[in-house]
Structure 1
Amino acid sequence: MRKHLILFGEPTPADLSAIEAEWPLIAAELAVLDAEITNIYAAEHGGPSPLDWRRLRRAEARVIRVAAELAARPASGREVA
Structure 2
Amino acid sequence: MVESRGEVIVIDPLAPNDAGAAVWQRLADAPPTQFVVLKPDHVRDVDWFRERYGAAAWGPALVDPDDVPSTRFASL
Q: What is the TM-score normalised by the length of structure 2?
A: 0.26
Q: Return the index of the structure with the highest Cα Rg.
A: 1
Larger helix fraction of residues: 1
Asked which structure has the greater RCO (Cα within 8 Å, sep 6+), the reply is: 1
Larger strand fraction of residues: 2
Q: What is the TM-score normalised by the length of structure 1?
A: 0.25
